[in-house]
Amino acid sequence: MTEPSNSLTQHVSPLEAGEPVLAAAFVGDAPALALANGVVKLGGRDVAAHPDGAILCAALDGARWLTGGDDGRVVAISAEGAAETLADEKGKWIDALAAREGAVAWSAGKTVRARDAKGAVKSWTAPTTARGLAFLPKGYRLAAAHYNGVSLWFPNADAAPQLLEWKGSHLDATVSPDGRFLVTSMQENALHGWRLSDGRNMRMTGYPGKSRSLSWSHDGHWLATSGAEACVVWPFKEKDGPMGKPPRECGVRPHRITEVAFHPRALVVAIGYADGLVLLCRLGDAAEILVRPPGAGAISALAWDKIGARLLFGTDAGAAGLLTLPA
Amino acid sequence: MSEPVAVTDKTPVTVLTGYLGAGKTTLLNRILSEPHGKRYAVIVNEFGEIGIDNELVVGADEEVFEMNNGCICCTVRGDLIRIIEGLMKRKGKFDAIIVETTGLADPAPVAQTFFVDEDVRAKSRLDAVVTVADAKWLASRLRDAPEAKNQIAFADVIIINKVDLVTPAELDEVEARIRAINPYARLLKATKCDVEIDEVLERRAFDLERILDIEPDFLNAEDHDHDHHHDHEHGHDHHHHGLKHFHDEDMQSVSARLDGDLDPNKFMPWINNLTQTEGPKILRCKGIVALKGDPKRFVFQGVHMMLDGEPQRDWKPGEKRESKVVFIGRDLDEEAIRKGFAACAA
């Protein structure tokens, strides 16, 4: 393919991360980067979220950012830079985090805990290590991905979680914004999906590598995925989801896609590659705009702000940048 | 002082196995306390022995998963994939990783993790499987514990520990029993695991570049029988290099050798088919072969059904082109392997 003729590179301001970037988000209005050395760069300041630790996972909830570290702590960081320890699983790692409307869930090995907005914590032991967590959009219900399936847990109910079974090791979990579909990434370079109304299975295969970055379009009709040399976008508008339908592909380059992030208001997906390049791609006509040329590591974090005016990215070699779309 | 490590270097991972009480933790603490200037990340099983003095210790669950590829022996350590992924986020804080398995663990899923997982492979490499054996109790464990036999068969380095507790004759016997199962591992004798750390770490046993030769560890060039025919007459303890020669009932090694070239169109299908059909029984395999028309030595190694192979250095001028293969496994059909290999001659 030819490199895109359109370019937004002059609208990118570089940020100095200095350490591998593990996650990115806009906390309140401030661009924030979670770094391998346990520091969160928030606007211009450093928040020592996990001193002597590494940040392993992060989740945004409104105006606060949650980070989980290999120090066993779950930390909530406010837009003002205040860090509050929400949980301390001593001697363990926080493997996964999810957050929604004041509720936070985390896992450390098989232990899964959910903390509601009032601070009440409930615990559940998964059959094997819980690798990915996602709150369902309605009610207080958590999906936890583990070996051989996903469990749907109501933290406030005594009932045993509902198990959606599918053989294999499930890694990340995500639920469509309308709550109709649950999708996991798997050890076997594939995605697995369930229609939640009836538990119907859907397999999404063909990836050359693991697909670890999943992003829903604002209307919930599309799921953009990493793990191939093109951004594979699966259709979820119809009631059968992507069953029997080919995915769209955009941003085809001879480099593996490591991160994807749908624009919060338009059918435009930001794509980050293993060679450090960042593109914007419009789903309708696959038109491409260059954001960042290759270099300085693989893209390891991508995030839009709430209105889609700014895009934040970071690499595993400690580079980062902020795109501000021209008005 | 620690040596500078090139950033492109993959982090070496050493796997410590050994039956309960053999001395894994003693070895681990010995490695950690030596003044080598290296920093280790240690992955221990959660219910294992305590008392490891190291900055970076991670508890693991030993979650063994089947891969979803229809291959029953293709199991991996899911927890290891997750932990290595997490550790790599702190890259630069340690030089190497040591994985201590439980006494009952099968080393295969650990090793297979390094064949199967692309992300693990990209950032780390399996260095060697090191097995600690108890000089006094190994012989009994080989009789009653299949796990102990697996650990011996799988090992690249075997430490016969607690040699001070046995007589020289008993030590000879345990050594011979180990050799009956695995003649290729490097054998070290120790009291309280007092081995040179260099003999245990940085072995590069899974590195095709380093598989230069696959002669049994104890052989001298003069008097070895190249085909290593095992003596199948039981109860007849003949002496071989001063050691009793045992034949293990269910775990053996089979080696075969051929002067001259192999036909790649025969050898490749043969080795693939053999590991696919007999893979569950084959714990380890290795080979250095001369393929017709190829100036380079072709080197392969494998674990169960997984094979890894590549052309290595050129055959040197004057070097005899020959092909050697070695299999260690359970109930191997020695004759079929020999015949199949012989039929690959160019």
Dihedral (CA of B147, B151, B153, B158) sign: negative
What local confidence, expressed as pLDDT, does residue B172 receive?
92
**Where does residue A124 rank: exposed (0-12), middle (13-18), buried (19+ CB within 10 A)?**
buried
| CA angle B298–B304–B306, rounded 5-degree value | 50
Mean pLDDT of chain B: 83
CB–CB of B59 and A131 under 8 A?
no
**Confidence label for A1 from pLDDT (cuts 50, 70 and 90):** very low
Beta-strand runs (E) in B63-194? 64-66, 75-77, 96-100, 124-134, 157-161, 186-189
Q: What is the pLDDT of residue B248?
A: 76
Question: Reduced to 3 states, what is the DSSP secondary structure of residue B266?
Answer: helix
Which among B76, B79, B118 has the least Cβ separation from residue A129? B79
- Summarize pLDDT for A15-36 with one digit per residue, the tens: 989 999 999 999 999 999 999 9
The 3-state DSSP class for residue B149 equals helix
Contact criterion met (CB < 8 Å) for A70 and B90: yes
Question: Is B89 in contact with A92 (Cβ distance < 8 A)?
Answer: no
Distance from CA of A36 to the nearest CA of B (A): 6
Contact list, B117 vs chain A (CB under 8 Å): 187
Residues of A in contact with B79 (CB under 8 A): 129
Contact between B59 and A92 using a beta-carbon 8 Å cutoff: yes
Residue B61: pLDDT over 60: yes
> Residue B60: pLDDT band by 50, 70, 90 thresholds?
confident
Asked if residue A290 lies in contact with residue A269, where contact means CB atoms within 8 angstroms, the answer is no
A49-63 pLDDT per residue, tens = 999 889 999 999 988
ipTM value for the complex? 0.88
Residue B230 has pLDDT above 70, yes or no: no
Residues of A with CB under 8 A from a CB of B: 20, 22, 36, 54-56, 70, 91-93, 95, 109-110, 128-129, 131, 147, 167-169, 186-188, 209-210
**What is the C-alpha separation between A1 and A24, in angstroms, rounded?**
29
B203: nearest Cα among B255, B135, B149, B125? B125
When CB atoms are compared, the residue of B82, B89, B117 closest to A54 is B89
Contact predicate B150/B119, CB 8 Å: no
Q: With a cut of 70, say whether residue B228 has pLDDT above it.
A: no
Q: What is the rounded CA–CA span in Å between residue A182 and residue A170? A: 12
| CA A47/CA A41 separation, integer angstroms | 6
> Per the structure block, which two tokens stand in for A77?
């960081």
Beta strand spans in A111-155 (E): 111-115, 121-125, 132-135, 142-153
State whether residue B138 is helix, strand or coil: helix
Residue A99 bridge partners (DSSP): A104
- C-alpha–C-alpha distance, residues B161 and B133, integer Å: 6
Tokens 């869930």 belong to A105
For B76-92, what is the mean pLDDT? Answer: 87
